[in-house]
Amino acid sequence: DAGVTQSPTHLIKTRGQQVTLRCSPISGHKSVSWYQQVLGQGPQFIFQYYEKEERGRGNFPDRFSARQFPNYSSELNVNALLLGDSALYLCASTRTGAAYEQYFGPGTRLTVT
Amino acid sequence: ELKVEQNPLFLSMQEGKNYTIYCNYSTTSDRLYWYRQDPGKSLESLFVLLSNGAVKQEGRLMASLDTKARLSTLHITAAVHDLSATYFCAVLQGAQKLVFGQGTRLTINP
């Protein structure tokens, strides 16, 4: 089975612009989470979606939004980009069950200039 | 608020030596995860620890969990260069999110 896929791989945007990042989970996984990883730090939780509903939100401003589609893929939108939004954005697909293991995609590297 | 702390943050060691990375967390959780990250890459799952006293081993890496002490360790035995990477522990908070430590950057020198 294919792993978690994300697009695009890299993205360069200008301050004030808007960006949409995409994620497709592992087949059969119904939950998707988004994380932001700034260089040199651990990933920070942004959102979790399960069955198209938001199940959790991290400490991020309202400029960040997300949604999940009927096929369980997801989009993360960031409006009014700031230089500090430059980071690796990771999508994780969750297999429910006792382990609640999250499988991470390759990430989207966003650079804001 | 759940906090996860790793130490050391940087570790430079020689091939063939043993060392341990420590992961402390501040509130009760019964699921702890270890991930590896190579430069510019995503996170690779290494271990999932589900209960007090859990121990898992894969090759030269062994992870353990003490939920009473809120401590997990990642032990490296007879290190080899290929193990050079950044290692993260993460603790599940509620049913939604992983809270990560700062990461331990491990460099193994010949």
pLDDT score at B110: 85
A21 φ/ψ angles, rounded to the nearest 5 degrees = -110, 145
Write out chain A's pLDDT in tens, 113 residues.
679 999 999 999 999 999 999 999 999 899 999 999 999 999 999 999 998 899 999 999 999 999 999 999 999 999 999 999 999 999 999 877 656 788 999 999 999 99
CA nearest B91: which of B82, B99, B83, B101? B99
User: Residue B6, Cβ neighbours under 10 Å: how many?
Assistant: 21
Interface of chain A toward chain B, CB-CB under 8 angstroms: 33, 35, 41-45, 48, 55-56, 58, 90, 92, 98-107, 109
Query: Could A101 and B90 be called an inter-chain contact, meaning their C-beta atoms sit closer than 8 Å?
Result: no
Say which of B45, B94, B100 has its CB closest to residue A43.
B100
| CA separation for the pair A110, A94 (Å, rounded) | 23
pLDDT in tens, chain B (110 residues): 899 999 999 999 999 999 999 999 998 887 899 999 999 899 999 999 988 888 999 999 999 999 999 999 999 999 999 999 999 999 998 877 999 999 999 999 98
